[in-house]
Amino acid sequence: MRCKDIHFIQIIHSFGSFFVSLRQIMKYKDLFVDFDDTLYDTYGNSVIALKETYETFGLARYFADPNNFYDAYWQTNIDLWTQYSKGEITRDYLIVERFRRPLSTGKGLDATEAYCLEINDRFLDLLSSKSGVVDGAHELMDYLKRKGYRMHMCSNGFHEVQYKKLSACGLKDYFDTVILSEDASANKPSPQFFDYALQRSGAQRKSTLMIGDNLQTDIMGAMSAGLDALFFNRYPEYEKTKAPTYTVTSLRDIKKIL
C-alpha cells in the first residue's frame, strides 16, 4: 500500500473517531419537546382565530364589548386545561364548556351544547390553519436536527388538531415521533404519559431531556418521571417549587446548552 493511501486512511479514521467522541460527550440523545406555546404560538394564533370566530357567528349581537367575551373565554380555557391535564375532566367536556361559560354571559344568547360544538369546531378549524410560531422556533429545530438529536413531540393537544397545526407551521418533519396524550391514555404531567413516550420513542430515561413552557405539566411532570427538564420560561412569573435542570427565557438560549 502506498504511503499516501495509508495517510488518507489515517485521516478518515481520525474523522470517524472525532465524530464518535462527539456523540459520546453529548449527554442527551433524545429530546421530548412540548408543542403548544413552546414552538407553536398557540396563544397568538388563538387570539386571531377567536376574533375570526366571534365575527363569523355575529356574537357582537350579544356582547356590548367583545372583550367581555374574550376575557371570559381565556379564563375559562386556562381553568379547564389545568383540570384536563390532571385528568379531572374529559376532552368532550372541555370543548363544550370552554365556550358555554363565556357565551352564557352574552345577553339573550342560548348557549346550547350543539351551538357550543359548532363554534368550537369552527374555532379549531381556524386555529389549526395558522402558521405562527414562537420566535426562534425554526432556527432552534434546524440547529438541533443538525446536531443529531432525535426529537419527539410530546403534547396534551387533540389528535385531529395537532397534526394540522404541525403541517401549517412547517415543523412536522423535524420530529421522529409525535406522542399525544390521547394515544398514551394519560396526560402530562402523569408518569404514565412519560413512560409511554419512552416506550414509543425507544428513548432511554437517562439520555432524554424534556423541553417545555409549562412548569407543572412539562417540567415537574418530566422530573417526577425521572427525566431531566429544560424550562422555557417565557413569562418569568412562576414560583419554582423544584428547580428545573435548566431554565431559559428564549428558544435561542437553548443552543448554548445543547
Average pLDDT of the chain to the nearest whole number: 90
Distance CA 172, CA 35 (A): 11
pLDDT tens by residue, 126-150: 999 999 999 999 999 999 999 999 9
pTM for this structure?
Answer: 0.86
Contacts of 169 (CB under 8 A, 6+ apart): 39, 40, 130, 131, 132, 133, 137
The two counts, helices (H) then strands (E), for the chain are 10, 6
CA geometry: angle at 75 spanning 71 and 77, to 5°? 115
Nearest CA to 84 out of 95, 75, 74, 73 is that of 95
- Distance between CA atoms of residues 138 and 115, nearest Å: 37
How distant is the alpha carbon of residue 17 from its chain centre?
36
What pLDDT score was predicted for residue 236? 73
> What are the pLDDT digits (tens) for 79-105?
999 999 999 999 999 999 999 999 999
**Nearest Cα residue to 253 out of 131, 132, 133, 143:** 143
pLDDT band at 17 (very low <50, low <70, confident <90, very high): very low
Q: Establish whether the linkage from the previous residue to 66 is cis, with ω within 30° of 0.
A: no
Q: Measuring CA to CA, how many Å separate 86 from each of 90, 147, 152, 156, 191?
A: 10, 35, 22, 11, 12
Q: What is the mean pLDDT of residues 43-65?
A: 97
**Backbone phi, then psi, for 78, in 5-degree steps?**
-60, -45
| Single-letter amino acid, residue 143 | Y
> Residue 19 has what pLDDT?
42
C-alpha–C-alpha distance, residues 103 and 149, integer Å: 45
Residues 6+ apart with CB under 8 A from 95: 116, 117, 120
